[in-house]
Amino acid sequence: LSRALDEIIKEGGDAESFPAIPGSHLKLTSPALEFVKSVSMILELDTDVQKEVQSLKRGLLAQLGVPEYSKVAEWKNPCASFMLADLFCIECNESRDLNLCELPPLDSSSVPKRHWACEDCGTPYDPEDIEQRLIEIVRLRVLRYQLQDVRCSKTNRVATRALSKQSCTSAPLKLDTSPKDAIQQLALLHELAQHHELEYLEEITEGLLATFVEN
């Protein structure tokens, strides 16, 4: 691993070295550091060798000049997830939950597939069906955001005073789903739509994101 790390360091690389995929939410800048964190995280799954892995990770981080307990040495999943539950195959009727942020596997010629397929029989899922389900999810989330209660940030109780910026306890009001969270959810769906060429979903999410920017 030390030799492999040396090779990665020699090749260099920066933020542009990382693939742009739906759900990418971390600003990654060092391929060598991410290699160390990812390999260490996988090896640590074996509880019988955790001490040895910690020692290995310490040495590899030292090779990069990164302190063992610094925040940049902590592994975080670089990709968000978006689960679509109970997706049925039209051929074999098998049902599974699909993480739309996971890229479909490569085909026989090592070319990335554009859409997902059933793991059991290989039949492609209908992208239009997936798109319609995602559009319905967007509709429900926007409706829930617009109709959500305003709460007291101190007691967490629903505010009863209309058109007031403060609760009865004079504490600021808050939302269950903040504008920032709503934008992140819409942005993720917009990225999925762009990557998988779901044009109608892309148009809807683009319009909704524009309304947040204007406000």
Q: Tokens standing for 14?
A: 């920066």
Average pLDDT of the chain? 85
Residue 105: phi and psi, rounded to 5, are -65, 165
| Cβ-contact 56, 4 below 8 angstroms | no
CA distance 172 to 150: 10
CA distance 97 to 106: 20
| pLDDT number for residue 74 | 87
pLDDT digits (tens, 9 = 90+) for 42-54: 998 888 888 888 8
| CA atoms in the 13 A half-sphere facing the CB of 93 | 0
Q: How many CB atoms lie within 10 A of CB 146?
A: 8
pLDDT digits (tens, 9 = 90+) for 62-105: 988 888 888 888 888 888 889 999 999 999 999 999 898 876 65
| pLDDT number for residue 3 | 83
pTM of the model: 0.74
| Cβ-contact 105, 124 below 8 angstroms | no
Closest by CA to 183, choosing from 203, 159, 210, 157, is 210
Q: How far is CA 166 from CA 13, 159, 180, in A?
A: 50, 8, 20
CA distance 52 to 58: 10
CA distance 62 to 97: 41
Q: Tokens standing for 18?
A: 């990382």
Closest by CA to 137, choosing from 88, 182, 199, 196, is 182
pLDDT digits (tens, 9 = 90+) for 135-186: 999 999 999 999 998 898 888 888 887 777 788 888 888 888 999 999 999 9
Q: How far is CA 74 from CA 45, 62, 67, 117, 199, in A?
A: 15, 14, 11, 34, 37
Q: Tokens standing for 206?
A: 């683009």
| pLDDT number for residue 215 | 55
CA distance 44 to 204: 42
CA distance 15 to 46: 31
CA distance 37 to 75: 5
